[in-house]
Amino acid sequence: MKSVLIYAIISFGVALAITPFVIKALLRLRARQEILKYVEWHKVKSGTPTMGGVIFILPLLILAGFFLNKDTPLANIAVLAAVGYGLLGFLDDYIKIRGGKNQGLRAYQKFIGQGGIAILVGVFYFLANRDGRILIPFSNETWDIGLWILPLTVFVLVATTNSVNLTDGVDGLAGSVSLLYFVFIGFLIMFVSRFVPMDEAGTFMIIAAVMCGALVCYLLFNSNKAKVFMGDTGSLFLGGLIATISMFSFLGLFILILGAVFVLSAVSVMIQVAYFKATKGKRVFLMTPFHHHLEKKNWAEARIVFLYCAITAIAGTVCIVTLV
């Protein structure tokens, strides 16, 4: 635990050291966020630097050389997959910036990229976990699903990356919830380490700690009023890392609980679209994802962030209590 805490502190220091340079570079490159026209109350945020996800990506890459090795293949793949998603997000952000509008990769292009990475990860994980072992929430029991672990991994990666991406719509929201997710997943991995190879479990905990330190720094610059946005570069990276370390530590099903607000973002959009099509124009929510519905209800951004963080903290506590 001491080394885990040390990594968190070092990561915070690295992130704090690079953040001013990152923001200056983004401004110089004119990497500025364009606000969607139907989110008119966010117009004042137009021009804020985006692609700020590199603030928490770089500390992980810089420190990875100290804790990743040939004895941690699952952790290595988790970081590589997250970087792959981050690069996909970077491409999406770059197209938006170059075009001067909030339209990057088309939905099918992004889906192909997300799905392609997910399939590669799924195949690798099946080869490493042929029994398809996964922990069942609230039971402290594992379930061997065999080959089904491959499509489940693909689904979890695609769903999680999209869900985290959808949650990134209010200052400090995706970053705060992800920070809490990494805090709780780190503790959960410690409690299930009897199922996970010791080297891998320890490395997953370090990865979670590094992300916690870097995200604390990022939130100093992203909380309302944000000086930088993570962009798809950051949100897809976070989603990829959350999904992979959760799956690889047999905790993939816990995303439904610990990542409840991510699920809420995705499900609210699906309900809205389905109901809109079925009723030919009627809506369940004022706007989706759900955090925009709350904004339409005149909720302040800080209040929304507090609500989502409270839900995540309660869900994380429940997960830990049921495993102890």
For residue range 176-224, list pLDDT tens digits in order.
999 999 999 999 999 887 777 778 899 999 999 999 999 999 999 998 7
pLDDT given for residue 34 in this prediction: 65
Q: In angstroms, rounded to a whole number, what is the distance separating the alpha carbons of residues 152 and 107?
A: 22
User: 225 exposed, middle or buried (CB, 10 Å; 0-12, 13-18, 19+)?
Assistant: exposed
| Residue 205 burial (10 A CB sphere; 0-12, 13-18, 19+) | buried
Confidence of residue 37 (pLDDT cuts 50, 70, 90): low
262, 167 Cβ separation under 8 angstroms: yes
Residue 39 confidence (pLDDT) above 70: no
The string of pLDDT tens digits covering residues 48-81 is 889 999 999 999 999 999 999 998 999 999 999 9
Q: What is the pLDDT of residue 195?
A: 78
DSSP label at residue 224: S
Q: How far apart are CA 122 and CA 157, in angstroms?
A: 9
Q: Closest Cα partner for 93 from 18, 165, 175?
A: 165
pLDDT digits (tens, 9 = 90+) for 109-147: 999 999 999 999 999 999 999 999 999 998 888 999 999
Mean predicted lDDT score pLDDT of the chain = 92
Structure confidence by residue, pLDDT tens digits, 143-186:
999 999 999 999 999 999 999 999 998 999 999 999 999 999 99
Which pLDDT does position 35 carry in this prediction?
A: 60
